[in-house]
Amino acid sequence: MYQSATLAVSLSVAAHGQVNDLDCPPRLMPMTSVTVPDTDKLITVSEIQTDTRTIIASYDTFMRDTIGAFPMDGEIEWTNNSEQKRRLRYRQSILLGEGIMPIIPPGFEEVCWEPSTRRLITVYEQVLDPGQSLTTQIFWEIMTRSEGLLADVNSDMWVDMQDQMLVVGAFGTDNPLYDLDQSGLVDGADLEILLNQWSESSDDSLDEANAGPDPDPVDPPVEVVNGSFNEADHIFKLTFNEQPSDANRGGHWIVPKAGWRLI
């Protein structure tokens, strides 16, 4: 779990977050930290100075309620104040807002999610010679989602056909971005989660020149290839004749039940 701060870690994540408590690194010696807002970012400075070490970490993150890309970018200034070679460690702890969860891929050990404190934990370490000072760059990037909208895989705050096309496109794979239940496989159970979180929408505005209801409302045309839900064990294809947009999010896909497979 310890990350060498001699290298900057860069990652564009396309994976599902960990929702269970993990054995994150324990707390180290307390440091003084100050976090202040700056436009759309938070700036944090943490520091400690003792007879043996001086550590000053400064970094930027997005706001704690951010949905989508969530990068951390900064640097650490290390100083060994002693006359012996030492291994210095810094434990970074970043708070996420209520209802926000991280998307952390399996095997990405630089960041640990601690649900009990709602914090992203990272530990950096550096070995310094007596009296040595060093500045290292730190960087990582994860994705975040709303806990109530796990199926919002494109992070636009809607669960709709655009998300469904992405999940269906990954059907049968182990892509963790679309494996919503973390079963190791994108399958019908993940599609059920998506349907249960489907975003409703409506528009009650009326044109002043013709302030009346639509005389002939219609839904987007949908072609359902397999309609025998009780007997079928798979679905062959899904076709829409109208592309969704911000102005038109209507229409529902008919998708496999849990356990069905897309071929």
Residue 190 DSSP SS3: helix
Q: Nearest-CA neighbor of 71 among 2, 125, 122?
A: 122
Segment 32-63, tens digit of pLDDT: 999 999 888 999 999 999 999 999 999 999 99
Instruction: Give the pLDDT confidence score for residue 41 in this predicted structure.
Output: 94
pLDDT value at residue 206: 52
Residues of the chain with CATH 1.10.1330.10: 150-200+218-263
H/E stretch holding 140: strand 133-146
Give the angle 175-190-120 at the CA atoms, nearest 5°: 60
Q: What is the pLDDT of residue 105?
A: 74
Angle between helix 188-196 and helix 161-169 axes, rounded to 10 deg: 170
- What's this model's pTM, rounded to 2 decimal places? 0.64
Tell me, which fold does domain 150-200+218-263 have in CATH?
Answer: Type 1 dockerin domain (1.10.1330)
Is the CB of residue 139 less than 8 Å from the CB of residue 127? no
Integer Cα distance of 215 and 63 in angstroms: 45
pLDDT of res. 157: 82
**Structure confidence at residue 39 (pLDDT):** 85
Closest CA to 3 of 18, 20, 25: 25
How confident is the prediction along the chain (263 residues), in pLDDT tens digits per residue? Answer: 445 443 333 222 333 343 444 578 888 888 999 999 988 899 999 999 999 999 999 999 999 999 888 999 999 999 999 999 999 999 999 999 998 989 887 778 889 999 999 999 999 999 999 999 999 999 999 888 888 888 898 888 888 989 999 999 999 998 878 888 878 899 999 999 898 888 877 666 555 555 555 555 555 444 444 444 455 554 444 444 445 554 444 444 445 555 544 44
Within 8 A by CB and 6+ apart from 67, the residues are 100, 144, 145, 146, 152, 155, 157
Give the side-chain half-sphere CA count within 13 A for 83: 0
DSSP code at position 124: E
Q: Name residues whose C-beta falls within 8 Å of residue 227's C-beta, 6 or more positions apart in sequence.
A: 254
CA-based max dimension of the chain: 85
